[in-house]
Amino acid sequence: MESAAIVREKSGDQLSTRSPMRGLVQNVDWLLLLATLAVALVGIWLLRGAVYGIGGLEAAAAKQTVFLAIAVCVLAGTFLVDYRWINRAAMGLYVFNLAALIFVLLSGRSINGAKSWIPLGPINWQPSETMKIATVLVCAQWIALRPDGIESIKGLIPPALICGVPALLVLAQPDLGTASLFFVIFLTMALMAGARRSHLLLTAGAAVVGLASAWPFLKTYQKARLIVFLNPESDPTGAGYNVIQSKIAIGSGGLLGRGWGQGTQSTLRFLPEHHTDFIFASAIEQIGFVGGALLLFGFGFIVWRMISAMDIARDRFGGLVVAGLIAIFAGHIILNVGMNMGLLPVTGIPLPLLSYGGSFLVSTFIIFGLILNVASRKYTFAGL
């Protein structure tokens, strides 16, 4: 039995032989992997500083370290399973997560006013996180089967339904921030499929009208968040409190920051949810403008490597999957940082690799596992 496998490059012009597993490892995007791990470790360090000396929260950093170890194992498992096999399971994963979202509405656990969690022993699973990934897979699968792309508004209906159904279920939890990410996924995937920009603008306009018509059904606190977005000082002790304190934390960091664990807004608990939704403001208070710029550079570097993976994907499905996953990752960063700086409404969106939470961290590493999966299989390996 031969120990080497024939490898054909994407162009089909060059052949070489190597061990299948060795070939996969050699083609891993180590820059992406190492950058991801580096930012995640910095995130744990900043999280420790954010909860330093706060009773009841000091264990969060230790738990996040355990979550990170689990997430790395999940990444490895996601990487090893050929994404073309995952393609075959895409619809099953979508239906399973859709059923989980329905179960959440019926019997889920409510945290911070949102019924988004399913208790699984010592941990809580948030189906909306894995639902985003499953939605990308099914959208990519549908589009990949249509080589001519989407040329009409009618062609936008299937991906709109694929993204819209889970978005409505998430909105009912209610979780407006996560629901909006499904719209980001839809726009990204439709654009990658060649949809006309005029059609996408028309769709976006319809979504705005739909959101406006949904105003009477929004929770009181959601309405308040949208109102104070334009003027936080209109309710400084109520709905505008979080944004005001977040801006104070960012401003108090100055150029170089107050130092690790020295953020008064966090340690004195003036800044709510400083270890989850507002971890960015807490981080800037500790490391300042310079540290924040370096942190954003790290995120930008990761996104750049993701785009590189999309460019070298060996088939249309793989490229589309990476594009959708980039939309999720970058969407989280833009919405969270914008929320922390008062540039976007408060929606409860966590920051990837920094915000505390096992379910979100693991789902983020599934994203990286899939992207590394696609990038490493730019060659065809016999047996893998």
For every residue of 5-68, DSSP letters joined together read: EEEE-TTSS-EEEE-HHHHHHHTS-HHHHHHHHHHHHHHHHHHHHHHTT-TTTTHHHHHHHHHH
Cβ-contact 352, 64 below 8 angstroms: no
Q: Which pLDDT score, from 0 to 100, does residue 371 have?
A: 96
Sheet holding 123-125, edge to edge: 109-111, 114-120, 123-125
C-alpha pair distances (Å), 383 with each of 20, 257, 378: 7, 52, 15
- DSSP string covering 274-303, please? TTTTTHHHHHHHHHHHHHHHHHHHHHHHHH
Instruction: Give the other-Cβ count within 10 Å of 121's Cβ.
Output: 5
Q: What is the pLDDT of residue 335?
A: 94
Length of the chain: 384
Q: What is the pLDDT of residue 217?
A: 64
Would you state the pLDDT for residue 297?
96
How many C-beta atoms surround the C-beta of residue 270 within 10 A?
A: 15
> Between the CA atoms of 91, 93, 94 and 96, what dihedral angle is there, to the nearest 10 degrees?
120
| CA–CA distance, 332 with 358 (Å, rounded to integer) | 16
Q: Hey, where are the domains in the chain?
A: 27-377
Structure tokens at 149: 């792309």
pLDDT of residue 113: 64
Q: Where are the beta strands (DSSP E) in the chain?
A: 5-8, 15-18, 109-111, 114-120, 123-125, 380-381
Whole-number pLDDT of residue 12: 43
CB 181 within 8 A of CB 331: yes
Could you tell me the pTM of the whole model?
A: 0.86
Angle subtended at Cα 256 by Cα 255 and Cα 261, rounded to the nearest 5 degrees = 130
Output the pLDDT for position 21: 65
Contact 7, 17 (CB under 8 A): yes
Q: Which position has the token pair 């936080």?
A: 232
Beta-carbon neighbour count of residue 341 at 10 Å? Answer: 15
Antiparallel, parallel or unpaired: β 5-8 and 15-18: antiparallel
User: 331 with 303: CB under 8 angstroms?
Assistant: no
DSSP 191-230: HHTT--HHHHHHHHHHHHHHHHHTGGGS-HHHHHHHHHHH
Both tokens of residue 112? 């911070």
Distance CA 283, CA 354 (A): 9
Tens-digit pLDDT profile for the chain (384 aa)? 333 443 444 444 444 445 566 666 778 889 999 999 999 999 999 999 888 877 667 788 889 999 999 999 999 999 998 888 898 999 999 999 999 999 988 886 766 666 787 887 777 888 999 999 999 999 999 998 887 777 777 878 889 899 999 999 998 887 888 898 999 999 999 888 887 777 778 777 777 776 666 666 666 766 766 776 666 666 676 667 888 889 999 998 899 999 888 888 877 778 888 888 999 999 999 999 999 999 999 999 999 999 999 988 888 899 999 999 999 999 999 999 999 998 888 888 899 999 998 889 999 999 999 999 999 887 544 333
